[in-house]
């Protein structure tokens, strides 16, 4: 084996580390992308769900996830049963997010993966953090990032007064118009 091919061989069988910024992202739609990397589906050597070629994914800003408008924060409900009679609980999404801001994304990825024993091992390679703060020993491992599904919107407050004024206008006020 030549020297260049040898390095390529190493790279195919290493576990790479990816970064994903969950700011303003839908957790249930981004879970389909994240689990693809956890399984190794993005690799050319991927041959099925039984293969152990998954990568690590580091998710940041999980407290800034966005659910669909209307009232999805209300009607999305998580069920849990303790096993004892009367031990059923239904927690709404905003209640769960208040307790632990990494929980909704973790559950979305857990639900998305194949239901077999390889799921637990793959979930261990998912590292979710609520802030931008990542532990020091994880940062040097990260090599690349997964693109976001939605562009992060900007509030009107965040624009300066000049930018708002100089943005091209679609119409002008009529000649005699009351400003209010």
Give CA–CA dist 30/25, Å, rounded.
Answer: 7
Quick one: which segment of 4-12, 80-88, 133-141, 146-154 binds another protein (CB under 8 A)?
146-154
Instruction: Indicate whether 106 belongs to the interface with another protein (CB under 8 A).
Output: no
Nearest to another protein of 1, 179 (CB atom): 179
Site for another protein in 10-29 (CB under 8 A): 24, 26
Give CA–CA dist 76/60, Å, rounded.
Answer: 22
Whole-number minimum distance, CB 79 to another protein, in Å?
A: 20
Nearest to another protein of 17, 28 (CB atom): 28
Nearest to another protein of 38, 108 (CB atom): 108
User: Token pair for residue 128?
Assistant: 């979710």
C-alpha distances (whole Å) from 30 to each of 2, 23, 33, 160 are 39, 11, 5, 32
Give the H or E element holding residue 19: strand 17-21
- Single out the residue of 50, 155, 160, 162 in contact with another protein (rule: CB under 8 A): 155
| Strands lying side by side in the sheet with 142-145 | 126-128, 56-60, 17-21, 142-145
Site for another protein in 56-95 (CB under 8 A): 64-69, 71-74, 94
Contact 125, 38 (CB under 8 A): yes
Q: Under rule CB under 8 A, how many of the chain's residues touch another protein?
A: 40
Instruction: Indicate whether 159 belongs to the interface with another protein (CB under 8 A).
Output: yes
Residue with tokens 């006020």: 173
Quick one: which segment of 3-11, 41-49, 108-116, 169-177 binds another protein (CB under 8 A)?
169-177
Nearest to 150 by CA among 71, 75, 66: 66
Whole-number minimum distance, CB 32 to another protein, in Å?
A: 17
Nearest to another protein of 31, 113 (CB atom): 31
- For the residues of 92-132, what is the DSSP string, one character each? EHHHHHHH-TTHHHHHHHHHHS-SSTHHHHHHTTEEE-SSS
Q: Summarize as ranges the residues that interact with another protein (CB under 8 A).
A: 24, 26, 64-69, 71-74, 94, 97-98, 150-151, 153-157, 159, 163-174, 176-180
């Amino acid at each position: 084996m030549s020297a260049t091919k040898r390095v390529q061989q190493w790279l195919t069988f290493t576990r790479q580390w990816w970064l994903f910024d969950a700011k303003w992202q839908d957790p249930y739609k981004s879970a389909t992308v994240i689990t693809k990397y956890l399984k190794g589906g993005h690799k050319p050597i991927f041959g099925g769900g039984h293969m152990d070629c998954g990568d690590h994914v580091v998710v940041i800003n999980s407290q800034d996830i966005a659910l669909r408008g209307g009232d999805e924060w209300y009607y999305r409900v998580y069920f849990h049963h303790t096993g004892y009679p009367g031990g059923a609980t239904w927690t709404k999404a905003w209640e769960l997010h208040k307790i632990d801001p990494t929980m909704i994304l973790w559950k979305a990825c857990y639900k998305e993966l194949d239901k077999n024993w390889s799921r637990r091992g793959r979930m261990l390679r998912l590292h979710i953090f609520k802030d931008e703060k990542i532990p020091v020993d994880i940062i040097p491992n990260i090599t690349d990032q997964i693109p976001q599904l939605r562009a992060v919107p900007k509030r009107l407050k965040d624009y300066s007064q000049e930018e708002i004024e100089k943005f091209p206008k679609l119409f002008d006020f009529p000649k005699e118009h009351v400003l209010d």
